[in-house]
Chains A and B, each alone.
Chain A
Amino acid sequence: MPRAAAIVRDQAVPLDERVLIARILDGDRVAGRQLYEAHAARVHRLVYRLCGDAELAQDFTQDTFVRAFDQLGRFRGEAAFGTWIHRIAVTVTLNGMRKVKRLRERETTLDDDAGLGTVSHRSDPDLRSRIAAAIDALPEGTRLTLIMHDIEGYTHAEIAESLGIAEGTSKSRLFDARGRLRQALAAFVKE
C-alpha cells in the first residue's frame, strides 16, 4: 500500500472537509488523498452504473477528481463537497460517453457492423436483460434519475443538486422511468 494511503487510512478523526480543502489548495497531497478516499468509491459506483465499462469508469472517475481538485478554489461550499463532485462526475461521464459513442459510431460505419451499442429487444432471455435494455432505452435524464434514486439510493434532493434540476423534476422523471419499465415488463410477462 502506498505510504500516503496508509497514512490516510490510519486517520481516526472524522474528516473535516473544509480543512482538507484548504490543505489541498496549499498543495497537500495527503489531504487530497483523504478527500478522495471519502468520496471515490461512491463516485466510481455511480460512474460505472452510468457507463457500464470498467476502464471508462476508471478514466472518468480520475477525470472527475482531477477536475474537482483543479477547480477547488472556486468551490464556495454552498453545497456539500459530495454533491459538488457528483455533479462534476455526471458531467464528465455524460460528455465522455458522448465522445465514446461518436467514436464507436464511426467505427461501426467503417466496420459495417450495425449491432454495436444497441440492445436487441427480441431475444432477451430473462427479466434482468429486459430491464437492462429498458433502462438503456430511457431518455438520458430519466435514466440518470432512475439509476441514482432506485439503484444507488440518492435522495431527490441530492439528485436535484447533482443534476441541476428541481426536486419536482427528479420526481417526475422517476415516475416516468418506472412507468416505462412497467410497460417493458408487462410485455415480457405476456410473452
Chain B
Amino acid sequence: MTEDEMDERTREALRGYRVPPPAPLDDMWDAIEQRHFGTPVVALADHPKAKARGKGIRRWFGPPSWAVVVAGMAATLMIGVSIGRMSNGIAPVFTYEPGDGRYDYWSANAEPYRQATTDYLGETAALLTALPAAARDGQPDARFVAHAGDLLSTTRMLLDSPAAESDPRLKNLLEDLELVLAQLAQLPPERRGPELTLIAEALEQRDVVPRLRSAAASISSDDN
C-alpha cells in the first residue's frame, strides 16, 4: 500500500469514527427549556412525552433520598465544626481527603477571600441540607427563599472575584451553586413543593453537597 493510499484510507476511517446519529433536537430542547425557562412542573409531569422520554427527564422525579438528608446533615455538621475551629485558630478536627485534588487557589494567596468563601460555603451547605425536608413539607417559608437570594448575590460576587478566576474547580462549584440558588430564589409560591423535589434531585445528581464538603475541607484545612 502506498503512502497516498494509506492516507486516503486513514481519512475514510477517521470519517467513520463515532458517526453521530441525528440530533434529537426537539427532545433536547424540551429538557433545556424546562430546566432554564421553567416549564410548569405539573404540565410536564402530565405531558405524555414526559413519561416516554427516558431517564433524562424521569430522573428528575421521585421521592427525596434519605441518604441525601443524612449525608447533608453530616456535611453541615462537619463544616460547622470546621468553621468553628478555624475561627478559634485551631486546626480542623476532621481529615477529609479530597478525591480530585485540592482547591489550588487556596494554596497560593487568597486570604481576603478565604473567610468569605468559607462562611459562604457553610451557609450554603446549611441551606441545601435543609432542602429535602423543605421539599417534603412543600411550603418553605419566605425566609428560606430570601436567604437563597442573599446567597445567590454572594455567589455572583465570588464568581467575579480572583478566587474563582484562579481556581477552576471552585469556579465550577460556584457555577453549580449559582444555578441551584437561582432556582430556589425564584420559586413561585404555588409550585414550591414539586420544584423543591426537582432541585433536591438535581443536587444529588450533581454531587453538590459532597463537593461543598470537599471545598470547605480543602480550603479550611490549608495551612497557608
Assembled-state Cα–Cα distance A130/B32 (Å):
37
Contact between A150 and B21, CB atoms less than 8 A apart: no
Q: Please, which residue of chain B has its CB at the minimum distance from the CB of A135?
A: B17
The reply to whether A54 and B21 form a contact with Cβ atoms under 8 Å apart is yes
Q: A112 an interface residue at 8 Å Cβ cutoff?
A: no
CB-CB < 8 A to A69: which residues of B?
32, 36
**When the two chains form their complex, are residues A33 and B36 in contact, meaning their CB atoms are under 8 A apart?**
no
A78 within 8 A of B: no
| B175 CB-CB contact with A under 8 Å | yes
Least distance between A181 CB and chain B CB atoms (Å): 6
Q: Number of A residues contacting the other chain (C-beta, 8 Å)?
A: 45
**Counting CB contacts under 8 A, is B182 at the interface?**
yes
Known A-B contacts A127-B13, A128-B13; the reply to A185 vs B182 at CB < 8 A is no
Docked Cα-Cα span, A132 to B15, in Å, equals 10
User: B167 interface residue, CB < 8 Å from A?
Assistant: no
Closest CB-CB distance, B94 to chain A, in whole Å?
A: 23
A187 within 8 A of B: no
Q: Which of A5, A71, A131, A150 contacts B29 (CB 8 A)?
A: A5
Q: Are A71 and B25 in contact (CB under 8 A)?
A: no
Do the beta carbons of A48 and B21 come within 8 Å of each other? yes
Contact of B17 among A1, A58, A70, A132 (CB under 8 A): A132
- A residues bordering B, Cβ < 8 Å? 1-2, 4-5, 27, 29, 32-33, 36-37, 40-41, 44-45, 48-49, 52, 54-55, 57-59, 61-62, 65-67, 69-71, 74, 95, 127-128, 130-132, 135, 147, 150-151, 181-182, 185, 189
Given contacts A33-B29, A70-B179, 17 further A-B contacts (CB under 8 A): A2-B30, A5-B26, A5-B29, A33-B33, A40-B25, A48-B20, A61-B23, A66-B35, A66-B36, A70-B178, A70-B182, A127-B9, A127-B10, A128-B16, A130-B13, A132-B13, A181-B10
